[in-house]
């Protein structure tokens, strides 16, 4: 088979011997965890991979790849992620399965962190010319002095953000000295703890910067800077609040509001131990998420595009009021929301529209499309991607559903909770709006404000 024939080789068709060798390589030093984060799995997902690997006595890398296969990824995409990690040994194992033009990725590049931070700031910050000038003077100074990665990251935090620095001792006390009992999740870049800081329930993400051949922890720090910047600027009831940060040696700690209701992904998959979402709760989640998104798109002259709206990034409080989190991939759009062509595609494939996947065209309509898929999941309980279905992607399946038929609604509605006429009407509205939001033509997708108004005018179910 020539490389031109296997350029789009499905990951599920990766030859057994090469897959086993690749897994042995990635299992060393737990490199699979860093790969998992580049695949956009959450800390919770990574922890589940580890647990499942122990239970099944399998390679954790093998379990990770099996999960990623479900989202219709191919070997070339895996090769690119390994290139981002600069894991050349793993790339060598599968290079004969990708087109030779991609072999150029085997050439190592090691940009300095301060330069990366400065470039990221230049692209995404909405600041005055004077502020930009000062930022780049400081970045240039960092380059010349060759500061340590930790000090560079901290300096950029101080210069670019207005976030309180919390004494490290207070966070140690909040988590009972990082007790294992307070661990919410673990991943390749660190651990997430729950704690109580100044009588407030918090989640603390502990990020470790490690100089390694992968370089992916460097990318994760940059994404964390991006997330902190946007969370700090976007104060809204449906945006996850960030309380502060702390630095110690090569570790960065970020403090968020604790969301006791878990993520929408956990609730829909019934993994969190909570009761299934009732229909009034689904209405609250959809309405609150739409309200948060329309704020991001409208609060400034340039819209802020989240770029990775999905159930895992929608967090719930005790009343199921949602807050949008994980702004690591967010970026400013153009004035007037004109489409911009990006150099690469990011996000989670089952939630992304074709104009972004195939032509790299990015606008607020990417978020609108993603929200439409979330509405489908809320209405039906089906996963956004399921390769066992005839129509693998949920938006393809729902495009064929006639929501005007009550019999069709009764067939597709999530039956995990009791349904009545009011539930059918809400399901019908969600599917109708979901189809509008996932229109193949971005110009025909509604603005999030219109979606919010449609959800707000719905008469909610009385019983809870």
Query: Which residues are catalytically annotated?
Result: 308
Residue 207: enclosing H or E segment and its boundaries? strand 200-208
Sign of CA dihedral 59, 65, 66, 68: positive
Helices and strands of the chain, counted as H and E runs: 19, 11
217: tokens are 């922890």
- Cα separation, 327 vs 156, whole angstroms: 17
Whether the CA torsion 348, 350, 356, 359 is positive or negative: it is positive
Half-sphere exposure at residue 144, Cβ-oriented, CA atoms within 13 angstroms:
6
Q: How many CB atoms lie within 10 A of CB 297?
A: 23
**Do residues 451 and 433 make contact, with C-beta atoms less than 8 angstroms apart?**
yes
Residue 80 annotated as binding site? no
Instruction: State how far the Cα of 312 lies from the Cα of 214, in Å rounded to an integer.
Output: 25
Alpha carbon 92 to its chain centroid, in Å, reads 29
Check if the beta carbon of residue 219 is closer than 8 Å to that of residue 225: no
Please name the residue that has the structure tokens 């301060």.
114
- What's the alpha-carbon Rg for the chain, to the nearest Å? 22
C-beta separation of 406 from 431 below 8 A = no
Q: What is the distance between the alpha carbons of residues 219 and 39, in angstroms, rounded to a whole number?
A: 13
Positions at the binding site for ATP: 206
Positions at the binding site: 206
């Amino acid at each position: 088979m020539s490389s031109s024939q296997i350029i789009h080789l499905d990951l599920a068709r990766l030859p057994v011997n090469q897959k086993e060798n690749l897994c042995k390589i990635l299992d060393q030093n737990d490199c699979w965890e860093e790969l998992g984060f580049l695949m956009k799995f959450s800390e919770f997902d990574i922890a589940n991979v580890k647990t499942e690997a122990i239970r099944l006595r399998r390679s954790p890398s093998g379990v990770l790849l099996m999960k990623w296969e479900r989202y219709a990824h191919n070997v070339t995409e895996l090769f690119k992620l390994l290139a981002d990690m600069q894991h050349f040994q793993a790339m060598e194992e599968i290079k004969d399965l990708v087109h030779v033009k991609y072999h150029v990725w085997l050439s190592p590049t090691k940009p300095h962190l301060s330069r990366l931070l400065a470039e990221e700031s230049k692209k995404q910050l909405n600041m005055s010319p004077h502020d930009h000038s000062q930022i780049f003077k400081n970045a240039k100074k960092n380059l010349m002095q060759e500061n340590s990665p930790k000090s560079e990251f901290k300096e950029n935090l101080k210069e670019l953000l207005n976030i309180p620095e919390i004494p490290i001792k207070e966070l140690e006390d909040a988590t009972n000295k990082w007790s294992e009992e307070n661990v919410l999740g673990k991943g390749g870049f660190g651990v997430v703890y729950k704690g109580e800081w100044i009588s407030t329930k918090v989640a603390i993400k502990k990020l470790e910067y490690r100089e390694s051949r992968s370089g992916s922890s460097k990318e994760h720090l940059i994404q964390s800077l991006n997330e902190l910047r946007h969370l700090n600027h976007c104060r809204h009831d449906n945006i996850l609040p960030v309380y502060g940060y702390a630095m110690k040696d090569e570790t960065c700690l970020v403090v968020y509001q604790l969301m006791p209701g878990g993520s929408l992904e956990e609730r829909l998959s019934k993994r969190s131990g909570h009761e299934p979402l009732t229909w009034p709760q689904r209405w609250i989640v959809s309405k609150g998420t739409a309200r948060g998104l329309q704020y991001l798109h409208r609060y400034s002259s340039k819209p802020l595009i989240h770029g990775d709206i999905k159930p895992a990034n929608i967090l719930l409080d005790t009343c199921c009021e949602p807050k949008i989190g994980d702004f690591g991939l967010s970026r400013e759009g153009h004035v007037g929301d004109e489409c911009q062509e990006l150099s690469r595609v990011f996000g989670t494939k089952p939630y992304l529209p074709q104009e972004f996947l195939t032509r790299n065209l990015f606008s607020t309509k990417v978020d609108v499309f993603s929200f439409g898929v979330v509405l489908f999941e809320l209405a039906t309980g089906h996963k956004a991607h399921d390769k066992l279905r005839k129509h693998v992607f949920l938006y393809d399946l729902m495009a064929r559903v006639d929501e005007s038929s009550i019999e069709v609604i009764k067939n597709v509605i999530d039956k995990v909770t009791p349904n009545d006429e009011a539930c059918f009407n809400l399901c019908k509205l969600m599917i109708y709006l979901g189809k509008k939001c996932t229109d193949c033509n971005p110009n025909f997708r509604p603005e999030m404000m219109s979606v919010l108004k449609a959800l707000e005018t719905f008469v909610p179910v009385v019983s809870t």
